Amino acid sequence: MKKNLLLLLALLVSFSVFSQYRAMNVEPAKNPAPKSVAALAPNFTTTDINGNTYTLYDYLNAGKTVIIDMMATWCEPCWNFHTNGALEDVYNTYGPNGTNEIMVFMMEADDTTPLSELTASTLGDWTAGTPQPICNDDNIAALFNLQYYPTILMICPTGDYYEVGQGITAYFTAAEYYAFAQQCPTTADAPICDFSFSPNATMGSTVTFTDESWALPTSWSWTFEQGTPTSSTNQNPTCVWNVAGVYDITLIASNANGAGTAVTKQITIIDPAATNNLNVTFEECMTNWTGDFSPYQWTTVDLDLGNVWGDFSDVGVSGPMAFNVYDHAEAMATVGNGLAPHGGNKAGMVMNTITASAPNNDWFISPLINLGTNSSISMWAASLSTDWGAEEFYIAVSTTDNAPGSFINVSPLNTPGEAYTNYTADLNAYNNMPVYIGIHCVSNDHFVLFVDDIVINTTTIGIDENAAVAVRVYPNPSTGTVNVENAQGSSIQIYNMIGEVVASQAKANQFESFDLSTLSNGTYFVKVISEALVSTQKVVINK
């Protein structure tokens, strides 16, 4: 069963990337995925099935780009990609059989399959018509933190690497892989500056910034608008903001070839007293996924450290996280269930442990919420499949902190089937109290739990409805389209630097989209005006 489960998860992961582009209403892009890690590719020496030895850095030091197709002989998506022949074409056209600019490896990376399956798997003979070296190396998966099959990595001569993938709505061609390789920096380039962080944080919390600059930077210059500190020369610094607002963070990375072009991004600092973060529908999370359910500030905890399929590009997370923002309808269609989502097209997904003897122990935990009166929680949940039993979860409450051990169950054990069911729990025992609310998945070797439309009902005093969820302005920077969410009932005005109104909307809906593509590049201000508050955020147009 486990091998079939892994295969199904591989299918789901592949499909999640497809659903990302449809959800964003853009044409399928023929571009490589963002670099998934800041660290350089680890060096390795491997031997192919014919006894030939290869060392990664020998190719990088010679200025070549390396593509590694990490697959498993039992993986049907791997087989479909392999028989498409794109990487074979890359090897013959741009590899040692062609211009000799790129090296390609097929890497059987599953340590549970024997060497013999390369020629006699249930899917076929993997060696037939394969010109690139085929290696059966069980160490590669751990070196690159392999999460699913197939994973196709492109490693640049500088050691920078990213997951290039198979394609969005159709397989990439050899020419497209070659075009991706041309985007690689070389050792003669100044850095391409980039960094990652959580774009939403609470006042007083420590925010960590991770340098993801390309082309081997050796020094870093950070500036943090109104932060503590206001600047840093560390590669991966931290900063704290004590006043709510939207602030600029700028990085300039340098090496012996000079300084890269400065990159500026923005962080939103939230005052927990100004928002109750009550309801989670997942639609906003899907649009600009960062791993923290922004701006809701719900967090995930994976205590069983089971098998979690991370790095879903913009629709997922990397590392041992319990939840993934996911297109439920697409996922269900993939496995033949056909279940539509509840009230939208996105849902949270919990992935369980795949160890038969180990129970799942995953949490989804709210920020501190100040309950009023007449309090309750409702949510919709469904099991992806009940073939191995329905998923199981509790709703729990903590009055002290958000550590899993502090929670007390306030619901019976819930066991949703393969159709969405509404679950509620009475919270009146905690009226007028600050609480954390947790959803605790406890299934024993089952499969996947979906949750959607979490609503916390409570009568609060002094909290305007429009302030219940922080106003969200994205993407930022923008190439022309600016979206504003959670401003329902408010007036939205967009100004240029000299105070002219360039766009506006009275009595806004929950979601409003503005086409600013005719405006000049530069900084603009999005002002949201309600009876209770005025919120202003900067947005940069960069076409």
> Same structural domain for residues 322 and 259?
no
Given phi > 0 = left and psi -120 to 50 = alpha, else beta, which region is 215?
left
As a whole number, mean pLDDT of residues 274-298 equals 44
pLDDT given for residue 79 in this prediction: 93
The answer to whether residues 282 and 298 belong to one domain is: yes
- Where does the pLDDT of residue 89 fall: very low under 50, low under 70, confident under 90, or very high at 90 and above? very high
Cis peptide bond prior to 150, omega within 30° of 0: yes
Residue 69 placed within a domain:
yes
Residue 240 confidence (pLDDT): 93
Which of residues 438, 459, 480 is at a domain's end?
459
Residue 22 inside a domain? The answer is no
CA pair distance 418, 340, nearest whole angstrom? 11
- pLDDT over 90 at 98, yes or no: yes
The residue ranking higher by pLDDT, 305 or 503, is: 503
Domain identity same for 281 and 261: no
Query: What confidence tier does 304 reach under pLDDT thresholds 50, 70, 90?
Result: low
Kindly tell me the burial class for residue 482, based on how many C-beta atoms sit within 10 Å of its own C-beta (0-12, 13-18, 19 or more): buried
Give the SS3 label for residue 94: helix
Mean pLDDT of 111-128: 91
Whether 289 shows a pLDDT value over 90: the answer reads: no
> Residue 479: which domain range?
471-541
The verdict on pTM exceeding 0.85 is: no
430 with 326, same domain: the answer is: yes
Q: What pLDDT, on the 0 to 100 scale, is given for residue 175?
A: 92
Q: In this structure, what CATH number is given to the domain that contains residue 480?
A: 2.60.40.3080
Nearest to 12 by CA among 332, 290, 343, 239: 332
Confidence category of residue 297, pLDDT binned at 50, 70, 90: low
Q: Phi/psi class of residue 389: alpha, beta or left (left: φ > 0; alpha: ψ in -120 to 50)?
A: left
Residues 120 and 256 reside in one and the same domain? no
Tell me whether residue 338 is exposed, middle or buried, using C-beta atoms within 10 angstroms of its C-beta: 0 to 12, 13 to 18, 19 or more.
exposed
Count Cβ atoms within 10 A of the Cβ of residue 258 and give its class: 0-12 exposed, 13-18 middle, 19 or more buried: exposed
What's phi and psi for 61, nearest 5 deg?
Answer: -65, -20
Average pLDDT estimate for 63-84: 92
Confidence (pLDDT) at 504: 86
How far are the Cα atoms of 60, 62, 67, 256, 520 from residue 188, in angstroms, in the given order? 14, 13, 21, 9, 33
Do the Cβ atoms of 157 and 125 come closer than 8 Å?
A: no
pLDDT at 7: 33
Q: Each residue of 417-440: pLDDT tens digit?
A: 888 888 999 999 988 787 888 889
Give the pLDDT mean for 499-505.
79
Q: Are residues 389 and 312 in the same domain?
A: yes
pLDDT surpassing 50 at residue 331: no
- Residues 121, 127, 129, CA angle at the centre, nearest 5°? 130
Q: What is the structure's pLDDT at 15?
A: 28
Is the residue at 6 inside a domain?
A: no
Q: What's the N-to-C CA distance of the chain in angstroms?
A: 49
Q: Give the CB-side neighbour count of residue 192, counting CA atoms within 13 A.
A: 13
Instruction: Tell me the mean pLDDT in the region 259-275.
Output: 77
Q: How many domains does the chain have?
A: 4
Q: Are the CB atoms for 438 and 411 separated by under 8 Å?
A: no
Which of 241-250, 383-392, 451-460 shows the lowest mean pLDDT across its residues?
451-460
pLDDT at 170 exceeding the cut of 90: no
> Could you tell me which residue, 3 or 212, shows the higher pLDDT?
212
Last residue of one domain, picked from the residues 182, 215, 233? 182
Indicate whether 20 belongs to any domain.
no
Mean pLDDT over 86-114 rounds to: 94
* CA separation for the pair 484, 512 (Å, rounded): 5
Quote the mean pLDDT of the chain.
Answer: 74
Specify if 518 maps to a domain: yes
Q: Is the residue at 286 inside a domain?
A: yes
Please give the pLDDT value at position 273: 52
Q: Which residue has the higher pLDDT, 353 or 165?
A: 165
Q: Which of 343, 306, 341 is CA-nearest to residue 323? A: 306
pLDDT digits (tens, 9 = 90+) for 382-422: 887 787 788 899 999 998 888 899 999 999 999 998 888 88
The predicted pLDDT at position 499 comes to: 61
Report, as an integer, the average pLDDT of 244-257: 89
Instruction: Count the neighbouring beta carbons within 10 Å of the beta carbon of residue 242.
Output: 11
pLDDT at residue 24 is higher than 80: no
Last residue of a domain, one of 122, 155, 182: 182
- Where does the pLDDT of residue 191 fall: very low under 50, low under 70, confident under 90, or very high at 90 and above? confident
Q: Read off the CATH number of the domain in which 347 is found.
A: 2.60.120.200
Q: What was the pLDDT predicted at 224? A: 96
Of the listed ranges 45-54, 73-82, 280-289, the one predicted with least confidence: 280-289
Question: Is there a domain that residue 11 lies in?
Answer: no
Total residues belonging to the chain: 543
Q: What proportion of the chain, given as a percentage, has pLDDT over 90?
A: 27
pLDDT at 314 over 50: no
347: helix, strand or coil = strand
Same structural domain, 140 and 173? yes
SS3 category, 118: helix
Q: What is the C-alpha to C-alpha distance for residues 263 and 37, in angstroms, rounded to an integer?
A: 18
DSSP state at residue 411: S
> Pick from 455, 457, 453: which is nearest to 376 by CA?
457
Q: What's the average model confidence in pLDDT over 208-233?
A: 91
Q: Of 37-46, 133-142, 530-539, give the lowest mean pLDDT range.
A: 530-539
173 and 45, same structural domain? Answer: yes
| Res 474: pLDDT | 80
Q: Are 457 and 374 in contact (CB under 8 A)?
A: yes
Higher pLDDT residue, 75 or 366?
75
The CATH number for 260's domain is 2.60.40.10
Query: What's the whole-number mean pLDDT along residues 123-133?
Result: 95
Residue 1 lies in a domain: no
Q: Quick one: pLDDT band at residue 126, thresholds 50, 70, 90?
A: very high
Are 255 and 345 contained in the same domain?
no
For range 339-368, the mean pLDDT: 58
- What is residue 22's predicted lDDT score, i.e. its pLDDT? 19
Give the Cα separation of 481 and 248 in Å (integer): 20
| Residues facing residue 426 across a β-bridge | 376
Q: How far apart are CA 327 and CA 20, in angstroms?
A: 8
Q: How far apart are CA 538 and CA 473, in angstroms?
A: 9
490/343 same-domain check:
no
> Does 280 lie in the same domain as 254?
no
Q: Do 244 and 393 lie in a common domain?
A: no
**163 with 153: CB under 8 angstroms?**
yes
Q: Which tokens belong to 446?
A: 């089952």
DSSP per-residue codes, 18-54: HHHHHHTT-PPP-SPPPP--SSPPPP-EEEBTTS-EE
**What is the pLDDT at residue 352?**
53
Alpha carbon distance 410, 428 (integer Å): 11
User: Which two structure tokens, joined as six digits, stand for 368?
Assistant: 């501190």
Averaging pLDDT over each range in 20-24, 105-109, 529-533, which range is the top one?
105-109
